[in-house]
Amino acid sequence: MIPHASYQRPLMLVAGIWLVNAAVLLAFVLVPALHFELPAAVHTNLHTLFETVSIIVSALVFAAGWFTFSREGRSNVALLCSIFLGVAILDFVHLLSYDGMPWFLIPTQDGKSISFFLAARLLVAGVLLAIAFQPWNRSIGRQERRWVLGLSLVFALGISAYGLVEPAVKTWFFIPGSGLTTTKIAVECLVIVLNLAAAAGFYLRMREPQPYPLVPLFAAACLMALSELCFTLYATFHDQYTIVGHIIKVEAYLFVFRAIFIEFLDGPYRQLETARADLVESEEKYRLLFENAPDAYLLANADGSFHTANPAASTLFGIARQDLWRIGRGDVTSDPRLAGFLEERSRTGFARGELILRRGDGSTFLAELSSTTYTDSRGRQMSSTFIRDITAKKQAEDEVLRLNATLEQRVHDRTAELQSANEDLEHFSHVMAHDLRSPLVAIEGFAGLLKSSTAGLLDDKQERYLGRIRSSASRMAAMIDALLELANVARAPLNIQPLDLSAMATAELASRGKAEPDRRVRTRVQPGMTVAGDARLLTLVMSHLVDGAWTHTARNPEAEIAIGTEPGADDATVYVVRDNGTGLTPALSGKAQDRLGIWQGASDAAQEGIMMAAVRRILSRHGGRVWAESLPGGGMAVRFCLARAAG
């Protein structure tokens, strides 16, 4: 298992320390020439030094953990500090009962102190194992903490008392001349296993970052296991293995103290430093906001005198900032609404309103104020106020109100103008129907009389001229009808209903076939085409589109006209009237697209263009549109769509 990246570098340091100690121990095991035995007095002094350091470190662990528990309340903290108080007691008794020390209740002898030493090592291994496999942040109460401390003291004092009064203890673990007993080695192996299990538990938790110092505790467990290995190898109390074992034990205790120091002393200090840095950053952000705020900002004392002002306030009032700090609210406003504003702020702690304020040059302006009261760190009553010049905003609002007040009259005037325009259009329609049609009727009538009266007297050329006169009069009459129709389309109300577009198309094609029975035109109409729209207007659309296709295929002996649908954008249905007629030249097609989007550049362009304009107007009123595609000699496809589908 690879530990989290945040643990990898500290683990390398721990591994280095452990390997150095292991290498020293291995050298003593493999090289007999390195073995040595210290004089009893020297060994006793060194042992006293090591155990004194161990006792001090254990006491510091207890003190730091016990003090921190009152703030944190964590079960592992209570367990660790309580156990290490018991360890300190056992190490102290072990020190006093060690061979070479003054008598402690009973004479000091070889083997007597081992029981206290093993009991302390079992406590350390047990507490490390417990911490490794239970949640660090689990909380316990003060009463439970006292129970844990009490049990640790009872165990430590009980072992101490029993070891001091029981003479047989000295032979359980060490026999002079024979060395360590099987019991001693078995207990040491148990301690080693417990420490290794604790180290494994700490290592497994390093897969993710943990909220407590895993690495120092892992190092302590590994070093304790190595230390206990040393205490299974010595033959006398004064040889090299006891010295190395005590040195490694002190190192392990120091790592436990480091864990406590990091967690409970150094950790809060670093948190304090982080909080201080955050505070400095927050103050800098506040300063930047204060200095660069677009609105004026004033801090005032309880008597109304200004305490602080930002640059925007100086600009707004036209007064230098140092001068603003010497005046108060009475110097910048005499608005009678100020008393009510202050009363509301005093009552609720917040007020918002509009006041007339005075600049340094004596000019006034309308301002919007938002103010709150608060108590600062010194217990002083202060107020903070944001001020915004709303003169231009107020003028714009007044203009909107003025425009709204005249809106009804303007709507009435526009409606009257529209009604007048409609009346003019209707009058124009009557003029078109009467004044323009009468001369055409006369032209066509006299041309007919001329033809009947000169029957057989005119040559072919004269007959052709007379026919062109009558044909032109008929086309002009048709154009007038188309213009009238276009005018009526714009005014006619819509009566929306479901319609069968297929039936409309079939009827229009049948009507053209009856009018010209000699023409051979193959027609196809897709069944089931339904739309929602005005029946009269959509019939007119289909009539004009069929007329166009019928006209364009007049010169094709194998004429085809197809009416159907195809899919469009956004799942819309597009209706298509397609023919194989003459189509349009590119120039005429472009001209038609520019003006109406249809083909009015073809033959009979004026009349047909008006008809197609009516088509576009009708489809536009239905929320749709129309467009055409044409190639010279390749026929034409007119497509249209409607916003309203048949329901």
Residue 233: what pLDDT? 86
What contacts 9, CB < 8 A, 6 or more positions away?
A: none
Reference 118, options 196, 192, 32; nearest CA is 192
pLDDT at 191: 92
Indicate the burial class of 295 (C-beta count within 10 angstroms; 0-12, 13-18, 19 or more).
Answer: middle
CB atoms within 10 A of CB 508: 22
Kindly report the CA angle at 500 between 498 and 501, in degrees rounded to 5? 115
Place of tokens 């042992």: 47
CB 385 within 8 A of CB 374: no
Q: How many C-beta atoms surround the C-beta of residue 250 within 10 A?
A: 19
Residue 616 C-alpha from the chain's centroid: 48
What is the reported pLDDT for 72? Answer: 53
Predicted TM-score (pTM) of the model is: 0.47
Nearest residue to 298 (alpha-carbon basis) of 331, 249, 263: 331
419-438 burial, b if ≥16 CB within 10 A, otherwise e?
eeeeeeeeeebeebeeeebe
Distance CA 343, CA 383 (A): 13
Beta strands in 78-224 (DSSP E): 174-175, 179-180
Residue ranges of the alpha helices (H) in 261-334? 267-292, 311-317, 321-324
Q: Say how many C-beta atoms besides its own lie within 10 A of residue 161's C-beta.
A: 12
Say how many C-beta atoms besides its own lie within 10 A of residue 86's C-beta.
Answer: 26
**Separation of alpha carbons 346 and 17, rounded Å:** 68
Is the distance from CB of 200 to CB of 208 less than 8 angstroms?
A: no
Phi, psi dihedral angles at 103 (to 5 degrees) = -60, 140
Measured distance between the N- and C-terminal CA atoms of the chain, rounded to whole angstroms: 67
DSSP annotation of 6 reads H
**Token pair recorded at residue 261:** 């120091």
> Half-sphere exposure of 631 toward its Cβ, with a 13 Å CA cutoff?
3
CB count in 10 Å sphere of residue 103: 9
Question: CA 124, CA 194: separation in Å to the nearest integer?
Answer: 9
**Long-range own/partner contacts, residues 628-633 (CB < 8 A, 24 or more apart):** 628/589, 628/592, 628/593, 628/597, 628/598, 628/599, 630/583, 630/584, 630/589, 630/599, 631/583, 632/582, 632/583, 632/584, 632/585, 632/586, 633/582, 633/583
Radius of gyration of the chain (CA): 54
pLDDT for the residue 584: 60
Query: How many beta carbons lie within 10 A of that of residue 625, not counting itself?
Result: 14
Is there a contact between 387 and 369 (Cβ–Cβ < 8 Å)?
A: yes
Q: What is the pLDDT of residue 485?
A: 65
* Phi, psi values for residue 450, rounded to 5°: -60, -40
Beta bridge partners of 629: 637
User: What is the set of domains in the chain, with CATH numbers?
Assistant: 5-29+40-272 (1.20.1070), 293-389 (3.30.450.20), 400-491 (1.10.287), 494-641 (3.30.565.10)
Regions in the chain scoring below 70 on pLDDT = 68-74, 100-112, 163-179, 262-270, 422, 425-426, 428-437, 475, 478-479, 481-492, 584-610, 631-633, 644-647
**Would you state the pLDDT for residue 598?**
41
